[in-house]
Structure 1
């Protein structure tokens, strides 16, 4: 048996490029962001249980999906402190990844492969630094899963909620000549804002990560899915199992 993939969308409306978030969308990390934040906060003298820690953690939760250095710039103001916090955060997150504490979201790899088999280009993006993104890809064995992976530094440094990484995916892959043929999927409000600002016609929120349906919808989600595993069907990619 061979799985044959086709798309049932009209050619002039079919999605040609999909930009997928990683942590919370294609990668299950079980709240490692908060654990890594604790390490970064302690490094700068912010102790758990204090009002300052609670306030900063609430901001981290609200801005899931944003470039992490941008988050720390907001939290600590001073650039040196922000850089120190970000470095400790990335180090701590990398240690947790190396400890085997991440896994693919069920059906995520299969969804990516289904989309690519149907001729759709898939790009993985993240708010983490490149070193952390590479550690996640290596831990999952995903180094060769897609033709391009992007972190904020690859697209000018701003990250989400700016549209930069989505537009960089378009420019660097040449997958389509129109932003209307881009789909974006992610688990946070910032993913939704980034996709809408880029002009993507499909901006799908998934419920496997940080934000709930109301938050995703309020940020502009065109669709809300249980998980990224449902994305191929949404885009008209159907699996037709027939004898080879």
Structure 2
């Protein structure tokens, strides 16, 4: 039986109406770097500083620390502005699925390519509380502020294990809607799951090493008895 389910936020548990994609693309293109759709898809789910750095370079712009920092500030401005106009909402059935997992004694953590200053206000806007008590929504949240590198590095998943006291990585399921989510799950050594609630197709996700492709997090409780082979 799994002991911990680790879920991405935007596109996996939260419907942000695709705003993070558009805000990232707009912030990078304001630097003069065109953003190809395939490149944007490759870098979605990664920490946003790394994504901006890569996308600027791919678009032929010099990605100096100062320019990247300015583009990141602009990304956050655009995100806050657009989230205020069109607030994110929980994807259908996700809250119930999370509650089902926790009722069965399975801890649930959220990870994200956002830093603390973006992630925690987003959760507050949803009314989602974090903690081990019965009144909370999830047991832990890990952002890029907590680790030295974001996805596809496995560090956020491992940090979620630390926060929830889970020590056997084979009993950890990690699910997300982007390529780097699937890669991080594989790199972490647990059960890697792609979900189809984001922008990518089944074929897009299946092209990368994974254990399952699901329509969404709502199906994860059905995998509760799963454990990655030794």
Aligned equivalents of 1:125 and 1:208: distance in 2? 16
State the partner residue of 2:220. 231
- Choose between structure 1 and 2: higher strand proportion: 1
State the shift of 1:43 in Å.
Answer: 4.3
Question: How many residue pairs get matched?
Answer: 214
Corresponding residue for residue 48 of structure 2: 68
2:25·2:40 contact (CA, 8 Å) conserved in 1?
A: no
Matches within 5 A, 1:214-229: 214-229=203-218
1:116–1:122 Cα contact (<8 Å) kept = yes
- Matched residues in 2 for 1:75 and 1:35: separation? 13
Q: Secondary structure at 2:213's aligned position in 1?
A: strand
- Do structure 1's residue 30 and structure 2's residue 11 form an aligned pair? no
Specify the alignment match of 1:162 in structure 2: 153
Structure 1 unmatched runs, 5+: 1-13, 47-51, 238-244
**Cα distance between partner residues in 1 of 2:201 and 2:222:** 21
Using CA pairs below 8 Å that are at least 6 residues apart, which structure has the higher relative contact order?
A: 1
In structure 2, C-alpha distance between the alignment counterparts of 1:84 and 1:154, rounded to whole Å: 22
Determine if contact 1:63/1:71 at 8 Å carries over to the other structure: yes
Per the TM alignment, residue 108 of structure 1 is displaced from its structure 2 partner at its CA by 0.7
Shift of 1:189: 1.0
Structure 1 match to 2:181 = 191
| Structure with max Cα Rg | 1
Aligned counterpart, 1:120: 106
SS at the partner of 2:34? helix
TM-score by length of 2: 0.87
> Quick one: which of 25, 30, 34 aligns to 1:53?
34
Q: Distance in 1 between matches of 2:225 and 2:169?
A: 18
**Partner SS for 1:61:** helix
Could you state the TM-score of these two structures normalised by the residue count of structure 1?
0.82
Aligned structure 1 segments of 4 or more residues deviating by more than 3 angstroms? none
Q: Cα RMSD over matched residues?
A: 1.7
